[in-house]
Chains A and B, each alone.
Chain A
Amino acid sequence: EVQLVESGGVVVQPGGSLRLSCAASGFTFDDYTMHWVRQAPGKGLEWVSLISWDGGSTYYADSVKGRFTISRDNSKNSLYLQMNSLRTEDTALYYCAKDIQQLVPYDAFDIWGQGTMVTVSS
């Protein structure tokens, strides 16, 4: 079964740091571009970042650029999001998601995890 499981979400103070993880299983992880997407409570979906299958390309939403860093470890079938200088507006459920096709960037997201909640509050 294809599965993505996020972890690492907690309550953190403004200005703090956090690292989210996403464990992948059931597919050839290093063939797919991976993404982080977030959803603030009661709000819509917001794309956050992507990383290519080999880690060679990364892109970020303007709202997180310079503060968040996406990475992956293909030997561990894992995706990460390092979040620094956190703001209250970063409070959201963070999903990891995979591209629908192998070795094709900027694609549809066919598999999503259940999300991990990040709350930024003093």
Chain B
Amino acid sequence: SYVLTQPPSVSVAPGKTARITCGGNNIGSKSVHWYQQKPGQAPVLVIYYDSDRPSGIPERFSGSNSGNTATLTISRVEAGDEADYYCQVWDSSSDHRGVFGTGTKVTVL
């Protein structure tokens, strides 16, 4: 089965840039989606199709995807960005299954 690997945690000072990676075999050939989840809340889609932002998501959130790594970048980090972030793809190699990454806790210092 397809595996997505994320760093367990990322720490960043306010106003700086946070980069969250999502590693998977040839992930550059897939569309990657990113979700933000704050404690006690449902996940929120922040990036889809590698780099598109849903309406209402700040431009500070951006994404890229190439080779074996996809990256979610949060520029000018704010205290409100502190949350868990998950990447997600579809694995259609043998059947159609959704796959989530292991999740990354972003801490704003």
Q: A residues bordering B, Cβ < 8 Å?
A: 35, 37, 44-47, 50, 59, 61-62, 95, 100, 105-110, 112-115
On whether the beta carbons of B103 and A109 are closer than 8 Å, the reply is: no
A44-B102, A45-B37, A109-B43 given; name 12 further pairs at CB < 8 Å.
Answer: A44-B103, A45-B35, A45-B100, A61-B97, A61-B98, A100-B54, A108-B33, A108-B88, A109-B33, A112-B42, A113-B42, A114-B42
CB nearest neighbor in A for B86: A45
Q: List 27 A-B contacts (CB under 8 A).
A: A35-B98, A44-B86, A44-B100, A44-B102, A45-B37, A45-B43, A45-B86, A45-B88, A45-B103, A47-B97, A47-B99, A47-B100, A61-B97, A62-B1, A95-B43, A100-B48, A100-B54, A105-B96, A108-B31, A108-B45, A108-B48, A108-B88, A109-B45, A109-B88, A110-B48, A112-B42, A115-B42
Q: Which of A37, A44, A50, A109 contacts B96 (CB 8 A)?
A: A50
On whether the beta carbons of B49 and A112 are closer than 8 Å, the reply is: no
Contact flags B42-78 to A (C-beta < 8 A → 1, else 0): 1111001100001000000000000000000000000
On whether the beta carbons of B42 and A108 are closer than 8 Å, the reply is: no
Instruction: Kindly state the separation between the CA atoms of A61 and B99 in the bound complex, as whole angstroms.
Output: 9
Q: Which of B31, B48, B96, B100 contacts A59 (CB 8 A)?
A: B96
A-B contact count (CB 8 A): 63
Instruction: Kindly state the separation between the CA atoms of A95 and B43 in the bound complex, as whole angstroms.
Output: 9
How many chain B residues have a CB neighbour from A under 8 Å?
26
Instruction: Kindly state the separation between the CA atoms of A44 and B98 in the bound complex, as whole angstroms.
Output: 13
Residues of B within 8 A of A44 (CB): 84, 86, 100-103
Contact flags B75-100 to A (C-beta < 8 A → 1, else 0): 00000000010101010100111111
Residues of B within 8 A of A37 (CB): 43, 98, 100
On whether the beta carbons of B92 and A106 are closer than 8 Å, the reply is: yes
Residues of A within 8 A of B54 (CB): 100, 110
Nearest-neighbour CB distance to chain B for A60, whole angstroms, equals: 8
Nearest-neighbour CB distance to chain A for B91, whole angstroms, equals: 9
Residues of A within 8 A of B88 (CB): 45, 47, 108-109
Nearest-neighbour CB distance to chain A for B84, whole angstroms, equals: 8
